[in-house]
Structure 1
Amino acid sequence: MKRVDVAYVLLYDNDGENILMVKNKGSHSSYYTLPGGAVESGETLEDAAIREVKEETGLNVELEGIVAVSEAFFEERRHHAVLFTFKGRIIDGEISISLPEEIEEITWMDAVTAKKHAYIPIMEKEISNNETIVPYVLRGNVFHTI
């Protein structure tokens, strides 16, 4: 299996209630994820996350840190993906689909609905002195492509 690093960005609306999701066109069916995608050769995780959000949504973001690291096996594509999810903040831009061959829809979803469609990381536990544990998740075999 080929190792693929993927950078996602968790973005909340101004009220902190809704999460920005993109609907990806898959080989068999469409599916929702956080904005993000594969890290290109020579690119940092942060650069990839910022670039992918811009490409998929038209928005410019600042990153506030990693909120989760997970792994998944995409058997169909023979990929072993390590997924890094950053928390981000929109700094400017307007929502638009610039890659209609890849992205079908961009939408704000309440957190409960978003979590039904995609893995949405949450801070699991407080340690002390305002430090948090970043969750690691082994997601196993996944049947849609990245």
Structure 2
Amino acid sequence: MNRPKAQVCCIAFREDKMVLIRRVVAKANTYMQLIPPGGHIENCESLEDAARRELEEETGVFANQLNLVGVISFITHTKNDHAICFVFLSRNNAGDIVAREREKVIPEWVYIDGFEKNEDIPHYYRKFLEEVLKNEGFVNCKVEWHEGQESSVSFT
């Protein structure tokens, strides 16, 4: 029986930019797209520790302070797959971006102004970030893929 997988992601902001990663692994669903740094939670690891670790591993940036801003449920009906991603933001961080996992991801600073038109960022992340930045509250999001259809995004 498949069960949902727990994941985290963390977006670090600095001045007028945010750090995202570009997936360079051809088999990734988000190949060559910009997405928040993140990944799976290790056994016995807190959500905050996982978010800090993933951000630092994939970008070189260290989050001094984290804020949990939302949850995204990624549901792929065709694969009977479900992942739950806890999304953190860091506005207080240190370090410069470094491509530590160059064979998998390349970190990039992306301007906040105009990100919603940046087609390198998947539409569901653009919509989620718009909600977070607009509401400045907790955002619950569901992204679903059905056979033969583009992903749908809903908020509750």
Q: TM-score, normalised on structure 2?
A: 0.72
What corresponds to 1:58 in structure 2?
Answer: 60
Distance (Å, rounded) in 2 between the aligned partners of 1:25 and 1:76: 24
Could you list the per-position Cα deviations for residues 12-66 of structure 1 after superposition, in whole angstroms to 9, with x for gaps in the alignment?
122xx22211101340532211111111121111010000011001121123321
Question: What amino acid is the match of 2:83?
Answer: A
**Would the aligned equivalents of 1:46 and 1:63 in 2 still touch at CA under 8 Å?**
no
Q: Is the 8 A contact 2:78 2:145 kept in 1?
A: no
SS at match of 1:68: strand
Q: Which has the higher helix share?
A: 2
Preserved CA contact (<8 Å) 2:75 2:142: no
Cα RMSD (Å):
2.6
Superposed, 1:117-136 pairs within 5 Å as: 117-118=121-122, 119=125, 120-121=128-129, 122-125=132-135, 133-136=137-140
Question: Helix, strand or coil for the counterpart of 1:12?
Answer: strand
Q: 1:98 to 1:77 in 2, by over 3 A?
A: farther
Q: Which amino acid aligns with 2:71?
A: V
| Unaligned runs of at least 5 residues, structure 1 | 126-131
TM-score for the superposition, normalised by structure 1: 0.76
The runs of at least 4 aligned residues of structure 1 exceeding 6 Å deviation read: none
Whether the aligned pair in 2 keeps the contact of 1:4 and 1:39 (CA below 8 Å) is: no
